[in-house]
Every structure is written in C-alpha cells, then in structure tokens.
Chains A and B, each alone.
Chain A
Amino acid sequence: DVKVTQSSRYLVKRTGEKVFLECVQDMDHENMFWYRQDPGLGLRLIYFSYDVKMKEKGDIPEGYSVSREKKERFSLILESASTNQTSMYLCASRPWLAGGPNEQFFGPGTRLTVL
C-alpha cells in the first residue's frame, strides 16, 4: 500500500514563527503536492513538485515556500506564520505515468493553528 505520512497531526505556532511541515511518501512517486483545506473552500493547491529540486506554484503560493531535496520528501515552509494561515494542510503524491487517470494519494493532514 502507498503510504504518505506527515510529520504532525496537530501543530500550534505563534505569529512570525518559521514553520516546517514535512511530508514523506514511500512509493517512489515523482509528483508531490501541498494543499490547504478550509471549510467551504475545498482544497486549494499551494505548491507542487514534478521531481527532485523541481517545484511549481499552485493557486495560493503567497506566504509559502517548498523544498524537495530527496524524492520521497516534500517540505512546506511558512516563512513567517500569520493567523490567516491557520488551516488543515494536506500532502499528496502521485506517480508520473504518461496518460492514465493515476490517482493522488493523500497524507492524514496537519492541522496548524497560528496564534
């Protein structure tokens, strides 16, 4: 079974702190994604990565950055956390296969609260 794990289920940080959210997948997937999920807004893509050291902005990248130094690990960084970044953060991975409806596999999520 594909396994996507996230470093924390719950996290509480203070405004202005630098925050790292870690995601690890064990299936050698090329593509990895970070979403935030807010009630009534669904999932919105923050960043994604095609492969190691490659990244692309999603729909809401402002205030975030990412790092992918190894294929299995994709980190989301909040450079200076703000209260409007309080949210559920979901990581996902997907194999790169030309064509085909290959699904994304999701981690359990990290609920971040910024005080």
Chain B
Amino acid sequence: AQTVTQSQPEMSVQEAETVTLSCTYDTSESDYYLFWYKQPPSRQMILVIRQEAYKQQNATENRFSVNFQKAAKSFSLKISDSQLGDAAMYFCAYRGTQGGSEKLVFGKGTKLTVNP
C-alpha cells in the first residue's frame, strides 16, 4: 500500500523568508499524481499545487513551487516570500492511477507558523 510521510510536524518561518516542507512517499507505481493541500485555521482545505509523475518539470504556482525527485520518491514544497496568510496545516497527498486510484493518501501534515 502507498504511504506518505511528512517528517516535520511543525515548521516556522519569518515573514518574507523562504521555507521548504518535506514529503516522501512509497509506491510501486510508475505513474501517479502528487498534491499539496493547505488547511488554514478554521477554514476549508484548498489545493496549493499538483504534480504529475510523468512530467519532469517541477510545478510552480506563484510563490509556491515543488522539488519533485521521482527516483528518491520525494516531493517537497517551497514557499517563497512567506506571508502571514501562509500560516496553516499543509498536507502532502498521493493518488495512483491503477486500482483504487480514486483515493488520496495523505501525510500527517506539517503545521506552518509565519512570524512577523
């Protein structure tokens, strides 16, 4: 079964600085999708960024980018120019493309604090 590991339960960053959240996963599939979701305090979970495993180019969405290392099964999220509104729980998630591929497998989350 696929597993997703976020090794940093909590992280903090100074406003305007850069922070990287780590995520590793375990799978035997060659084609799959990876996601980072953000859950602000008392607010709905929203998608931050997604990556298709067959694409070598790392995904970027404004201040958010990923470092996707397929061989190492690593999918880290970099937040540049951190803002107070980036404070949230961040979840890394995996979805395969074979049987049972409707399901997302989530990591346990990283709580990000942004200090002014």
Where the two chains meet, the residues of A that have a C-beta atom closer than 8 Å to any C-beta of B are 31, 33, 40-45, 48, 50, 56, 58, 90, 94, 96, 99, 101, 103-104, 106-109
Contact = CB atoms under 8 A, between A and B. Distances in A.
List the 10 closest pairs (A to B, CB-CB), nearest first.
Answer: A101-B33, A42-B108, A106-B45, A43-B106, A103-B47, A101-B50, A42-B106, A108-B44, A42-B109, A106-B44
Contacts of A45: 103-104
B102 A48 contact: yes
Contact of A101 (B9, B43, B46, B95): B95
Nearest to A94: B102
Contacts of A31: 102
B15 interface: no
A64 to B, nearest CB: 16
